[in-house]
């Protein structure tokens, strides 16, 4: 993190031909309000020192005994490099009784970032969300919220009465919603012409169903905006979305492939399984849950509508940051046990008539093949940082999202893909042979190859299907194209999964608009 931020500051100074201090002030002015306190961490940057050297001198980076010296940039002259990195650790400063000295200041600022009064409350909220994976603001405890971020309605359908635990998206209507909207789909009341409740008239027998994603960071749609690191285009506008991104854990589920519902503001366009289900049946409005990176399913077997559950952990079982990465990958036996445990749990929670789609693992060799020799956003100004260098830096730090695929070792990349294929075969066999009381199970390969082919037909390049900053996750374009491929497969092979097309959709929308959107 330090290396990335210092790199941006130094490049800002270069681009604007200013001092580093002026560049840091410029960056701090770009950052919204209370988040500017983070700038105080970086107070002694020298333009003559590269970001690696600066971060070691600030004691925000360190070299463990017996471990390689991790660096993103080419090292300066050996004597200078080693001298710059020979700094005393924060722990050593404490032992020497130097807590109150200038040398210890970076340690305090870094370790106690959440102690800043302006950030303390926000930090507590984020810690709660990360720990519980539940909406921070949920007054009635039904796991749905009226607040967008902090695992709120960006992740699950928006609650329409957060003080009534019996009102939430996805439930069957209470007495056809004559008096109020119990399922938050916007359809309630009685038609004055014939006295029939609107919910009964438009949604009875309509095969209403929700969509639930059980996924990983790809399903949550992890994204770091490249404009945060591209100094040639940087302005205050570049960081306008920082508060929202921060409180959504740098995930953007509201634009994602399965549960996206807002127009994308991060490039590309939004197309999702949820939006297509909603267009097919307007009664499905707001019935979505993105349960990514752990979380809690909100479905009542007796009171709620059936759901389409997408099980898509497309890389977690083979991806880790360990140097002996193969030893830490899920085995086929473990995969079978884990998935069956999840499916038995779903069978105890999902209403009858639900469907589960198991998605195979991705072939991550696509990443190295299409990115390794391209320049990362940090390297575009001076043409000095490629994705290959970034991957090596992350591997050295043991924080790589996937050592098995983000590596120059072709044999290791192939072995990782071989394991991914074995695990996909486990999912395929489960879908073929296992039966459950409340849902049927289907399997589909992760549609990377079809997505790349479709994008080429549209004149695009394969590398544009990958997130530019982390060089690992699917991009917004990949998410939107993947939706189209998944939908077409379901439409032609499993039409029963999608439900019937509601013939009253136009009438519902007309009344909705006549009432001013209520």
Q: Which pLDDT score, from 0 to 100, does residue 66 have? A: 87
Q: Which pLDDT score, from 0 to 100, does residue 132 have? A: 81
Q: How far apart are CA 338 and CA 327, in angstroms?
A: 18
Boundary (domain end) residue, out of 41, 61, 81: 61
Q: Which pLDDT score, from 0 to 100, does residue 2 have? A: 86
Q: Which pLDDT score, from 0 to 100, does residue 465 have? A: 98
Query: Which residues, listed in sequence order, are joined to residue 156 by a DSSP beta bridge?
Result: 289
DSSP code at position 379 = G
Q: Which pLDDT score, from 0 to 100, does residue 446 have? A: 97
| Torsion over CA: 258, 219, 121, 263 (sign) | negative
Boundary (domain end) residue, out of 9, 26, 61: 61
Please report whether residue 172 resides in a domain. Answer: no
- For this structure, is 388 an active site residue? no
Q: Which pLDDT score, from 0 to 100, does residue 123 have? A: 80
Please report whether residue 40 resides in a domain. Answer: yes
Please report whether residue 417 resides in a domain. Answer: yes
Instruction: Say if CB 432 and CB 443 are below 8 A apart.
Output: yes
Give the chain's domain count: 2
Q: How far apart are CA 421 and CA 404, in angstroms?
A: 14
Query: Which residues, listed in sequence order, are joined to residue 210 by a DSSP beta bridge?
Result: 307
Taking each helix axis from N to C end, the angle separating 410-433 and 332-349, rounded to the nearest 10 degrees, works out to 40
Q: How far apart are CA 465 and CA 479, in angstroms?
A: 8
Please report whether residue 93 resides in a domain. Answer: no
Q: Which pLDDT score, from 0 to 100, does residue 420 have? A: 98
Q: Which pLDDT score, from 0 to 100, does residue 512 have? A: 77
Q: Which pLDDT score, from 0 to 100, does residue 104 have? A: 46
Contacts of 10 (CB under 8 A, 6+ apart): 20, 23, 45, 47, 50, 51
Q: Which pLDDT score, from 0 to 100, does residue 113 have? A: 62
Same domain, 57 and 204: no
Please report whether residue 399 resides in a domain. Answer: yes
Q: How far apart are CA 276 and CA 258, in angstroms?
A: 10
Q: What are phi and psi of 211, to 5 degrees?
A: -125, 135
> DSSP 3-state assignment of 362?
coil
Which parts of the chain register pLDDT below 50?
78-88, 93, 98-99, 104, 108-110, 518
Boundary (domain end) residue, out of 18, 46, 61: 61
* Secondary structure in 3-state letters for 417-428: HHHHHHHHHHHH
Boundaries of domain holding 56:
1-61
- DSSP, residue by residue, 282-316: GGGTT-EEEEESS------TTTB--EEEEEE--ST
Active site residue: 84, 145, 182, 217, which one? 217
Structure-derived torsion over alpha carbons of residues 326, 330, 332, 338, reported in degrees to the nearest 10: 180
Q: How far apart are CA 54 and CA 84, in angstroms?
A: 8
């Amino acid at each position: 993190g330090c290396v990335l931020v210092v790199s941006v500051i130094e490049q800002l100074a270069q681009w604007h031909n200013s001092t580093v201090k002026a560049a840091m002030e410029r960056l701090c002015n770009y950052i919204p309000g209370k988040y500017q306190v983070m700038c105080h961490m970086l107070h002694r940057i020298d333009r003559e020192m590269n970001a690696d050297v600066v971060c070691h001198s600030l004691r925000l980076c360190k070299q463990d005994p017996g471990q390689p010296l991790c660096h993103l940039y080419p090292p300066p002259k050996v004597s200078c490099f080693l001298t710059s990195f020979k700094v005393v650790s924060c722990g050593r400063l404490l032992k020497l009784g130097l807590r109150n000295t200038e040398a210890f200041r970076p340690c305090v600022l870094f370790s106690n970032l959440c102690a800043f009064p302006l950030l303390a409350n926000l930090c507590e909220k984020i810690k709660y969300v990360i720990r519980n994976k539940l909406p921070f603001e949920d007054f009635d405890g039904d796991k749905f919220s009226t607040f967008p971020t902090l695992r709120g309605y960006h992740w699950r359908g928006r609650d329409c009465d957060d003080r009534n635990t019996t009102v939430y998206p996805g439930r069957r209507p209470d007495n056809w919603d004559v008096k109020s909207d119990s399922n938050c789909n916007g359809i309630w009341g009685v038609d004055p012409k014939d006295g029939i409740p609107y919910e009964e008239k438009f949604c009875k027998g309509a095969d209403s169903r929700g969509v639930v994603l059980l996924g990983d960071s790809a399903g949550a749609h992890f994204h770091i905006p490249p404009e945060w690191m591209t100094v040639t285009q940087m302005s205050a506008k570049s960081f306008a979305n920082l508060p929202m991104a921060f409180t959504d854990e740098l995930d953007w589920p509201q634009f994602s492939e399965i549960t996206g519902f807002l127009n994308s503001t991060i490039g590309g366009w939004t197309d999702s399984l949820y939006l297509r289900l909603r267009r097919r049946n307007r009664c499905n409005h707001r019935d979505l849950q993105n349960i990514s990176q752990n979380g809690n399913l909100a479905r009542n077997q007796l009171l709620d509508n059936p759901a389409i559950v997408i099980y898509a952990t497309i890389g977690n079982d083979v991806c880790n940051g360990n140097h002996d990465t193969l030893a830490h990958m899920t085995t086929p036996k473990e995969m079978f046990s884990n998935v069956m445990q999840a499916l038995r749990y779903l069978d105890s929670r999902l209403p009858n008539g639900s469907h589960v789609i198991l998605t195979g693992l991705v072939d991550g060799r696509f990443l190295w093949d299409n990115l390794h020799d391209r320049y990362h956003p940090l390297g575009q100004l001076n043409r000095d940082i490629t994705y290959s260098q970034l991957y090596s830096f992350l591997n050295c730090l043991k924080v790589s999202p996937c050592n098995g695929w983000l590596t120059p070792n072709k044999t290791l990349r192939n072995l990782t893909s071989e394991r991914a294929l074995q695990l996909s075969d486990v999912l395929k066999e489960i879908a073929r042979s296992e039966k459950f009381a409340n849902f049927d199970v289907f399997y589909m390969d992760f549609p990377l190859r079809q997505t790349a082919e479709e994008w080429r037909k549209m004149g695009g390049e394969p590398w544009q299907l990958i997130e530019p900053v982390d060089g690992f996750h699917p991009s917004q374009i990949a998410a939107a194209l993947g939706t189209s491929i998944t939908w077409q497969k379901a439409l032609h092979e499993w039409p029963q999964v999608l439900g019937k097309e509601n013939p009253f959709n136009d009438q519902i929308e007309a009344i909705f608009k006549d009432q001013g959107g209520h």
